[in-house]
Structure 1
């Protein structure tokens, strides 16, 4: 019997992982939530780039016992690889080897706000991986996972890193991406393959869809994501979004995110629809779906209540 079945869920696989961020003024409560996530048998906790992901991971290491966890992701441009390696090694050691160090280049508009120069993503990521692995006198290092969406970065991950993590990827394109990875550069046997998936559970499907459209509004504003979605069959949608962005018609963005696209890059709807969607993600070869929960009726903590109900 699978973990999912033992909790009354129709899934044929283990429970997915979840994304967790530390909400200002509710950080202690966030750690209590991490403890509950572990208790309920989820397969991992992954902390996104906004907020102090490394700090949250250290606290998760100190407050949980067995659940795998990691950053998904931290920005390679904001700290030196040696400094990151020292912190990552510390978390790795105190957690008993449960930590995965997820990194990425973020996005030029976000880096601009930090007065950080964005270089050449492939070359800079490879350089960072090498510098991280060569760090001196820091102790044993955890696996390094890189953010990847398109074939060149995926192949780099398979060749140089210990895993890859997608975000807002198209489910229809996942199997092909992984097949090409194996053809171009077969990874090691314990290679991590994760994917962040916006998720909203509600019997009011349209309201849940509107929540995910709001969540994804920021991402359609980022050129790297639009280029990826164009490459997997959504050229028309992304070009229309680019026109709206050029005209600063931000109110039009939700209406330009088609149902077909939204269903491909996120999960929303009734509990049974979301469960079915998770199963379909597993079928693509995505080994660790990472649900990013939102709610039609509150913030992160309400969204987790609904997610817990999904598997009880």
Structure 2
């Protein structure tokens, strides 16, 4: 069965919902859940998800390398990997200046910072070992670094038509490092599952523009199609297949609702994209 993961993003003050969300995703047939860090601690959320599930992989998308020293991060992720029974994937990223700047973080040179962070992380990792490491990449530089030093790459906001080119950068990094190891290809994919195609497309435009009203006007239909999965279940599944055909191995759906609410988006995606939905009687799917 093709892999398909779903991001978990509970509303503020509802962290207890994480375990239920992860459990339901597993029951629905998703192969993994992923936790962001914009407003949460990705490692704590991952621990909650791991203790509530038995089979699916748990990943972070992403864990910000500027937030934790490698000496602190290494044992923490090793413990999560152990608690999960080897199901944890550490997704590392540098985030953005708009996120890090207000927190007083000087990002310096992100690619050099990431390279050094991964090296130090391995240095401080306990003897018991740690999880696979995926690097978040928006551009070719970080994609190449993923091929050099990581177990996987986690793309975001890479257009469908440019995806083969992005993967080629990863393979270039592999050749440069002479690793002889396959770097797995994952990507966050924004999605809105709804029978209202026009409104779902509008939700995609808002997502692509980061909800900035002025920027939304500049997002045209082809751009939404390149970056976002939207519409009824069958259309969304078809678009996922298109992404997989380019070399994507692990799609991680980042859901939104028609109103932009990520928690409602989770419910919509859980019902609309559930791999087990086709195995359920029609009367159950209508509930």
Q: Is the 8 A contact 1:22 1:56 kept in 2?
A: no
Q: Name the CA shift for 1:146/1:202 in 2 (closer, same or farther; >3 Å).
A: same
Match of 1:268 among 211, 230, 244: 230
Which residue is equivalent to 1:237? none
For 2:21, the equivalent position in structure 1 comes to 33
Asked if residue 98 in structure 1 is aligned to residue 87 in structure 2, the reply is: yes
Is 1:45 matched up with 2:45?
A: no
| Contact 1:105–1:125, Cα closer than 8 Å, also in 2 | yes
User: What is the TM-score normalised by the length of structure 1?
Assistant: 0.81
Among 257, 278, 281, the residue aligned to 2:240: 278
8 Å CA contact 2:3–2:249 kept in 1: the answer is: no
- Counterpart in 2 of 1:246? none
How many pairs were matched up? 270
| CA shift for structure 1 position 204 | 1.7
- What TM-score does the superposition give when structure 2 sets the normalisation length? 0.88
Change (3 A) 1:138 1:218: farther
> What is the CA–CA distance in structure 2 between the aligned matches of 1:135 and 1:30, rounded to whole Å?
29
Check if 1:65 corresponds to 2:63.
no
Note if contact 2:3-2:30 (Cα within 8 Å) is conserved in structure 1: yes
Checking the alignment, whether the CA contact within 8 Å between 1:17 and 1:46 is kept in structure 2 is yes
Q: Which segments of 5 or more consecutive residues in structure 1 lack a partner in the other structure?
A: 4-13, 220-249
Mapped to 1, the partners of 2:120 and 2:75 lie a distance apart of 12
Asked whether the 8 Å contact 1:158–1:188 carries over to 2, the reply is no
Q: 1:81 to 1:204 in 2, by over 3 A?
A: same
> 2:136 aligned to 138, 147, 151, which one?
147
The alignment partner of 1:141 has SS state of coil
Aligned pair 1:295/2:257, yes or no? yes
Alignment partner, residue 281 of structure 2: none
Deviations 1:16-70 (A, max 9, x none): 1111123322222221010011112212111112211110001111111111111
Give the alignment of 1:189-208 within 5 angstroms. Answer: 189=181, 191-208=183-200
